[in-house]
């Protein structure tokens, strides 16, 4: 399941430093605009403490976590929607992603130049928003005349639905708001909206890149961002990218934990960011556990058991009979699959069962 989050922001806000921490790939990180030209793609392991707990019980040959793709997209600048900088290329890279991680500079450092001369994360956010909104407005306005003609003269039902969606988007974009500010009730409208692939309709996670001393509790810049995005219902993460880079250089788990403890952090910002990105993509995890391996599998929230079986193999979905489900907490509580069975806690579920995050499952099938 190849879903991507794109890291965006102005030049020199810490995108590539953060990407380097997230990924084994080493995106170029330099103190000048446009040091990232081609988007760097990293396949990132999703941290899941449940796998280690299960492995302590099952003693498998290996542990296989799930992954998500993160794309480091070069810094946007004012005028990108009109082709400034490397605008059209960057906007095209964003369009190909499923969600956006928007990095905002929330630290002072005279040694790292800011493309606009001063640190102001709310202004920086507005620059990016405006460029994406202008591009979306261009998309909407170029499509409207054709769809309007089909809707009014041809009586095309699908065109009428799309026309209403386009009008709604045009109105909100002209107000300087993002397309995600509105939602549609009917499935037909929702599909028409998805088919437009608007940049500002994508879910967004704001990452405030702070100095090391602000990693645990944030700073005044972070509070300005919180105030600016409070109506968006978007999540905000506080991360010190340079601190994360220092953590990434440490060789052992114990050293990293000691570093985090000294910094007053329970978990690294990278781990929190990956988990938040996974959640933003509406992804959840089911687990298979046996002597060969304990493995995490990714599925879309709301998927039913046969669809999830198909994640393992298409034959599993085609010949689905039932799913034998053990809840993670029950597995840990009773200490083994046999213990769960004896306690009557193993659930037999059919085709209509909606899989839950953390379900440990064995699929029965026949083809």
Residues belonging to the binding site for ATP are 12-17
* Known binding-site positions: 12-17
Contact 309, 365 (CB under 8 A): yes
Query: Which H or E run contains 135?
Result: helix 121-152
* Selection from 46, 77, 16, 98 nearest residue 284 by Cα: 46
Specify the DSSP element, H or E, that contains 204.
strand 204-209
* Vertex 3 angle, CA 63 and 173, to 5°: 150
Distance CA 64, CA 33 (A): 38
> What stretches of the chain show up as alpha helix (H) in DSSP?
15-22, 49-58, 87-95, 121-152, 157-174, 187-195, 220-229, 241-249, 253-262, 269-280, 305-312, 314-318, 328-334, 337-342
- Alpha carbon dihedral 99, 167, 193, 230, in 10-degree steps, equals 30
| Phi–psi pair at 188, nearest 5 degrees | -65, -40
3-state SS string for 28-39: CCCCCCCCCCCC
Q: Which two tokens stand for residue 206?
A: 């704001």
Cα separation, 41 vs 181, whole angstroms:
28
Alpha carbon dihedral 77, 78, 79, 80, in 10-degree steps, equals 30
Find where tokens 């010949």 sit. 319
What does the alpha-carbon distance between residue 142 and residue 147 come to, in Å, rounded to a whole number? Answer: 10
Return all residues near 365 (Cβ < 8 A) that are at least 6 apart.
309, 315, 316, 317, 318, 319, 320, 321
């Amino acid at each position: 399941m190849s879903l991507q989050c794109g890291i965006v922001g102005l030049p020199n806000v810490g995108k590539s430093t953060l990407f380097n921490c997230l990924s084994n790939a080493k995106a170029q990180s330099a103190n000048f605009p446009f040091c990232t030209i081609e988007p760097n793609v990293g396949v990132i392991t999703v941290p899941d403490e449940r796998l280690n707990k299960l492995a302590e019980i099952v003693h498998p040959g290996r542990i296989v976590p799930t992954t998500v793709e993160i794309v480091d997209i070069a810094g946007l600048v004012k005028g990108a929607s009109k082709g400034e900088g490397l605008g059209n290329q960057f906007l095209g890279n964003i369009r190909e992603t499923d969600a956006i991680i928007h990095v905002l500079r929330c630290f002072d450092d005279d040694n790292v130049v800011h493309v606009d001369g001063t640190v102001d994360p709310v202004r920086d956010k507005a620059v990016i928003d405006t460029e994406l909104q202008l591009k979306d407005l261009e998309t909407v306005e170029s499509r409207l005349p054709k769809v309007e003609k089909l809707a009014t003269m041809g009586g095309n039902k699908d065109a009428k639905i799309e026309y209403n969606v386009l009008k709604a988007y045009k109105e909100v974009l002209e107000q300087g708001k993002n397309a995600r500010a509105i939602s549609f009730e009917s499935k037909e409208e929702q599909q028409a909206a998805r088919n437009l692939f608007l940049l500002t309709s994508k879910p967004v996670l704001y990452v405030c890149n702070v100095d090391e001393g602000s990693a645990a509790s944030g700073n005044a810049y972070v509070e300005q961002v919180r105030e600016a995005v409070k109506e968006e219902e978007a999540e905000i993460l506080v991360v010190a990218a340079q601190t994360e880079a220092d953590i990434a250089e440490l060789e052992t788990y114990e050293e990293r934990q000691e570093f985090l403890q000294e910094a007053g952090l329970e978990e690294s910002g990278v781990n929190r960011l990956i988990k938040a990105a996974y959640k933003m993509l509406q992804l959840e995890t089911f687990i298979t556990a046996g002597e060969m391996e304990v493995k995490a599998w990714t599925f879309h929230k709301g998927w039913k058991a046969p669809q999830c079986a198909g994640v393992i193999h298409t034959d599993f979905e085609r010949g689905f009979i039932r799913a034998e489900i053990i809840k993670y907490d029950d597995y840990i509580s009773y200490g083994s699959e046999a213990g769960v069975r004896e306690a009557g806690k193993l659930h037999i579920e059919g085709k209509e069962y909606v899989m839950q995050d953390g379900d440990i499952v064995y699929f029965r099938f026949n083809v």
